[in-house]
Structure 1
């Protein structure tokens, strides 16, 4: 099964590009940009990646982002992730970025988005990997900051397909950003939001009802509300679940307790993703492997995660058909 999973075509829908900053690149960029970081070695950084909750992760996540200064930095960060995609047979990826994490410290929006976009364009031609870009608002910041960020994005609207909402759920309800998301929808963006990771199932309801989101990022707390699960099944609302992230942040103590396979078998459009792989110890193949090792599945079930991700993606139907045909062809060869 290991070889089957390794070579399985994959689609990633929940990936924070700042969360792919490996310690080696962090040290390289810190030196190049003369930025102080509170670590003396790569080993020390890895030891710091023992989180007890979401906030303890975010504290280090934002420290790491400080080394990203120039357009080339964002290009190299994104390109390094895309090379991992190639290794893991990721055919298509939809990447989150957090502009406020950078504009708040004086880095221009243009620098951030142009660096990321340049790598995505290169990957299309040189690696055969397609992509979309999703701009996230940081929910611990205020509504005014989100509106400002949305305005800054207008000149780059051709590069950004959707807006999202990330950072800590606790104390930051979806309703705080209802007006921003309404304007984003009017401007033609698709919408997604983190909900039901550290927060309750009610947060998922709020995100669906108030923000009119197309898919739910994480959403694992949906199983606390059976009616919500039925709604997700009936509406084919996708969940972009990140198994190793959930384990690292103590959403589940053990992978055997994870509900992702149960949700899959119930018919929820659930997908596997890597979230912040540099911090959580695994890219796409690692996440697939970890789930199957703890909760064994057959090949059809494993491939269904890819079919679900294709269905949930923000690409044209013709492209969805192409990816689905490639995945089905791979499955047929390995039955």
Structure 2
């Protein structure tokens, strides 16, 4: 079996994907028309042309513009269902999905509308596609602490549907420390915690996420390599990094995929995983990311296997489920 066939058939878990970032141009245009919402694009091709950006902020501008067409519960269902169909194509058997309620509640869309649409798609994905999933609610770090507290309050009636909280959006200038008290309350309510850190922000942000937010995983974390002491801590604690290679390339975190450090991190013993981040904007879902780094970094079959196993080990599924999936991965290599 060649490596690309191996990537296609190996079971994988995705731990870093923003559901709003899976919004394909065709679906965006369809929902905009359905809801009679004006968008600054006259065709699907115009939307595709707009998917060109040079840094995180220019991406976020189009990202939030697209989210504006999501109004009804069915819109959120359709968005998530389209993503799960991509998971089925890529043999992603479990996904832990970020959603940004503030992006929608600030527009007057009820929290209930968002969560009920997403949850219904998650239930259908399990029943019809055999794909399990968890929802992780992210706070937008460019907004205030008060806004995050309000969002946490809105989430509490839906605790059974939300496994954790995260921190995303514009990293630079918004350190994890800004949300220390919000995360403390979220943990007290029983939520697991993750946070974006060390993508565009410095290694110090990763330290803050670990020490102040007490996260279970670091999202991105590629700049950890700049701090030897931090690297040793990540290795010692087996702290997962949810790395997103095509995203890093598209947002110019790296200039060329051959410069990406995911293989070096893996070889040094960091618990790295492969993920798609905002795949409709960044040019690829899970298998595209695996293929890109395999080609650019000359990954071995054993390294591909380790990355797949890491994804399950770092997930929030039960020990029994982890063993089931990891056994499936190992069986492919016998």
DSSP-derived class of the 1:157 partner: helix
Aligned counterparts of 1:67 and 1:298: Cα–Cα separation in 2 = 43
Residue number in structure 2 paired with 1:244 = 246
Aligned counterparts of 2:41 and 2:269: Cα–Cα separation in 1 = 45
Aligned counterparts of 1:8 and 1:331: Cα–Cα separation in 2 = 10
Residue number in structure 2 paired with 1:108 = 110
DSSP-derived class of the 2:29 partner: helix
Structure 1, gaps ≥5 residues long: none
Normalising to structure 1: TM-score of the pair?
0.98
Aligned counterparts of 1:76 and 1:30: Cα–Cα separation in 2 = 13
Normalising to structure 2: TM-score of the pair?
0.98
Residue number in structure 2 paired with 1:265 = 267
RMSD of the TM alignment (CA)? 0.6
Aligned counterparts of 2:333 and 2:13: Cα–Cα separation in 1 = 15
Residue number in structure 1 paired with 2:23 = 21
Residue number in structure 2 paired with 1:187 = 189
Structure 1 residues 131-280: aligned runs within 5 Å: 131-280=133-282
Question: How many matched pairs?
Answer: 332
1:55 deviates by 0.2
1:303 deviates by 1.2
- 1:57-98: CA deviation from partner (whole Å, max 9, x where unpaired): 000000000010000000000000000000000010000000
- 1:212-244: CA deviation from partner (whole Å, max 9, x where unpaired): 001000000001101111110000000000000
1:116 deviates by 0.3
Structure 2, gaps ≥5 residues long: none
DSSP-derived class of the 2:212 partner: helix
Residue number in structure 1 paired with 2:88 = 86
Determine whether 1:56 maps to 2:58. yes
- 1:282-316: CA deviation from partner (whole Å, max 9, x where unpaired): 00000000000100111111011111111110011
Aligned counterparts of 1:290 and 1:37: Cα–Cα separation in 2 = 32
Aligned counterparts of 1:331 and 1:241: Cα–Cα separation in 2 = 24
Residue number in structure 1 paired with 2:330 = 328
1:51 deviates by 1.2
1:50 deviates by 1.5
1:329 deviates by 1.0
Greater Cα shift, 252-261 or 4-13: 4-13
Alignment equivalent of 1:124, drawn from 126, 137, 157: 126
- 1:143-173: CA deviation from partner (whole Å, max 9, x where unpaired): 0110000000011000000000000111111
Runs of 4+ in 1 over 6 A off after TM superposition: none
Alignment equivalent of 1:7, drawn from 2, 5, 9: 9
Residue number in structure 2 paired with 1:47 = 49
DSSP-derived class of the 1:271 partner: strand
1:42 deviates by 1.6
Residue number in structure 2 paired with 1:69 = 71
1:198 deviates by 0.6
1:6 deviates by 1.2
Aligned counterparts of 1:101 and 1:266: Cα–Cα separation in 2 = 38
